[in-house]
Amino acid sequence: MKSNTRSMIAALIAVCGVAAATSAAAQPRRGDSTYQQELAVCGHIQQDRAACIREAGAARQEAARGGLTSAPDYQRNALARCGLQPPTDRADCEARVLGGSGNTRGAVDGSVLGGGVIRESVTTVVMPAPGAMPAPMPAPSRVPAPMVAPMQPMQPQPMQPMQPMQPMQPMQPMQPMPAPAR
């Protein structure tokens, strides 16, 4: 009877193991649909296909571990970087990130795969009307420039003969320095 009970327990464990393996294989892994979408894109972009497949696999593994919980908030990140700018430049930085506001028009061109995203902002500044301009500065007074006094021409001087050079003396060989006293 003991051997019959053991046989039934072993059979039950085997059946449960096969059932668990079948249900695990039937359920898609977390991130499989995204992985399939990324693989489909790999043949149609400028990136190397092998690198694209490798990055899709790495993202799939990270999603399975729970590391990819939500999409990053790029706009909040960019505005945080604008907060580090000097106060005089901060408004222009935020206008570039947000795409323009007020008298600023913004445009975005390019892509990451193409080498970078270029953000352009054009700020319209209205100049004051000509009547509201301050009065021009008065012209400087007409004072004559100072004159330079004439100089007497120099008389040519006769050239002096050069002294002959003395022959060079040979150098003495260097003596070694005495060892320092201890």
Q: 44-75, pLDDT tens digit by residue?
A: 887 888 888 998 899 888 888 887 777 778 88
**Residue 146 vs residues 140, 143, 149, 152: alpha-carbon distances, Å:** 16, 9, 10, 19
Least confident of 16-25, 81-90, 115-124, 135-144: 16-25
Q: DSSP code of 103?
A: T
C-alpha to C-alpha distance for 31 and 117, rounded to whole angstroms: 28
pTM of structure = 0.32
Amino acid at 89: D
pLDDT in tens, 121-154: 777 778 877 765 666 777 776 777 777 777 788 8
**Residue 46 vs residues 31, 42, 108: alpha-carbon distances, Å:** 24, 9, 20
The contacts of residue 119 (CB under 8 Å, 6+ apart) are 96, 97, 106, 107, 108
Domain ranges of the chain: 6-65, 74-123
